[in-house]
Amino acid sequence: MLHDKRILLGITGSIAAYKSALLARELQRRGAEVRVVMSKAATEFITPLTLATLTDHRVYSDFTESVDQGTWTNHVELGLWADAFLIAPATAQTLSSMVQGAGDSFLLAVHLSSRCPVVVAPAMDLDMFTHPATQQNLKTLSERGVGIIEPESGPLASGLEGKGRMAEPEHIADWMDSWFAASAPLRGKKVLITAGPTHEPIDAVRFIGNRSSGKMGYALADAFIRLGAEVTLVSGPVQLSAPEGVHDVVKVQTAQEMFDAAVQRFPSTDIAVAAAAVADARPAAPSNKKLHKDELPEAIQLESTQDILAAWGHSKAAHQTV
């Protein structure tokens, strides 16, 4: 379920930060796109260059890109970009700041402005983890909807043994995989979407069409994919790239081609969405060759096209939604 997911990885100042490079790689291996936000303290444990090289993206750690040039980094855009904000490792100080709603660092400002779900993987010494204040902070964050990936037991940086180690990268990736799967309500559902215009030929080069861009249908396809559905897109001629993760794109030109493709695939569909701007009529006798301007008819006889929605409605089963 991490395929094509956009994960913003937040790294704070813990010795466990060295594991974040392995975590970024593991998330990428499972198909996620990863970008990194670091606290100032985190950069003392692992360099931004390492994370930038691994993720092939700039690493963010400050509000300003260049003080001399007066450029700044938009923390709001990062929060809007991500499907999930994963803070790993999350120190005791970070958890406390999140509870208090602090925004005095770039990472914390991203947390406050994120509309996506937030997940933390705590990492700290045993006594810090078991301290009532830390446990209360974790309880508060959980009540606010923040996902908590429990730390693991083992040797700690202090020399003690016990709970407090950040979960291993593979375990964090497993947790995220399961979490995304649980939050994908349309997983296993098949969705059929029509999009874009149709072009009805007058002759070999001329046609009757409309200005539909197809953006609505393609945006719907992307939304259904993010909800876990298997999406088939029947698309008229558009200047758009297929959404990442789409199961199949069937390219058509005419209303009849779109009708045939949509009706043929409808029986195996759970949800069908008619977002295309299908021509209501077409030339009754199109020419197979290019007509000279002197051959163009003064009037074009039209005939009705077949109605996709009507055909779907006529054959719709009880389990299907149109």
Q: What is the pLDDT of residues 277-306, one digit of tens each?
A: 999 999 999 999 998 988 888 899 999 999
Q: Which amino acid is at 288?
A: N
Q: 60 - beta bridge partners?
A: 37
- Flag whether pLDDT at 67 surpasses 60: no
- Tell me, what's the pLDDT at 69? 47
309: domain CATH number is: 3.40.50.10300
- Total domains in the chain come to 2
Q: Is 252 part of any domain? A: yes
DSSP 60: B
User: ∠ at Cα 7 (5, 131), nearest 5°?
Assistant: 135
List, by residue number, the catalytic residues: 210
- Tell me, what's the pLDDT at 72? 52
Question: Are 121 and 13 contained in the same domain?
Answer: yes
User: ∠ at Cα 312 (309, 318), nearest 5°?
Assistant: 130
Q: Is 320 part of any domain? A: no
Q: What is the pLDDT of residues 115-161, one digit of tens each?
A: 889 999 999 999 999 999 999 999 999 999 999 999 999 988 888 88
Q: Residue count of the chain, please give it.
A: 322
Question: Are 95 and 200 contained in the same domain?
Answer: no
Three-state secondary structure call for residue 263: helix
106: domain CATH number is: 3.40.50.1950
Question: Are 176 and 205 contained in the same domain?
Answer: no
DSSP 268: G
Question: Are 27 and 133 contained in the same domain?
Answer: yes
Question: Are 60 and 101 contained in the same domain?
Answer: yes
Q: Which two tokens stand for residue 18?
A: 């060295």
- Tell me, what's the pLDDT at 305? 96
From 182, 212, 234, the end of a domain falls on 182
- Of 245, 216, 214, the closest CA to residue 232 belongs to 245
Q: Which two tokens stand for residue 244?
A: 């990442």
Question: Are 144 and 122 contained in the same domain?
Answer: yes
Q: Is 36 part of any domain? A: yes
- Tell me, what's the pLDDT at 103? 87
Q: Is 321 part of any domain? A: no
Question: Are 227 and 176 contained in the same domain?
Answer: no
Question: Are 154 and 275 contained in the same domain?
Answer: no
Mean pLDDT for the chain overall: 92
Q: What is the mean pLDDT of residues 16-40?
A: 95
Q: Which two tokens stand for residue 95?
A: 């958890």
- Tell me, what's the pLDDT at 297? 86
Report d(CA 196, CA 212) in Å as an integer.
6
pTM over 0.85: no
From 182, 208, 225, the end of a domain falls on 182
- Flag whether pLDDT at 28 surpasses 70: yes
- 23-27, 63-67, 174-178, 253-257: the lowest-pLDDT one: 63-67
Q: Is 240 part of any domain? A: yes
- Tell me, what's the pLDDT at 68? 47
Question: Are 73 and 220 contained in the same domain?
Answer: no
Q: What is the pLDDT of residues 246-270, one digit of tens each?
A: 999 999 999 999 999 999 999 999 9
Question: Are 61 and 79 contained in the same domain?
Answer: yes
What's the pLDDT band for 43 if we cut at 50, 70, 90? Answer: very high
Q: What is the pLDDT of residues 192-249, one digit of tens each?
A: 999 999 999 999 999 999 999 999 999 999 899 878 899 999 999 999 999 878 999 9
Range of the domain at 252: 190-315
Cβ atoms of 265 and 257 within 8 Å: the answer is: no
Across 34-57, b (16+ Cβ under 10 Å) vs e yields: bbbbbbebbbebbebeebeebbee
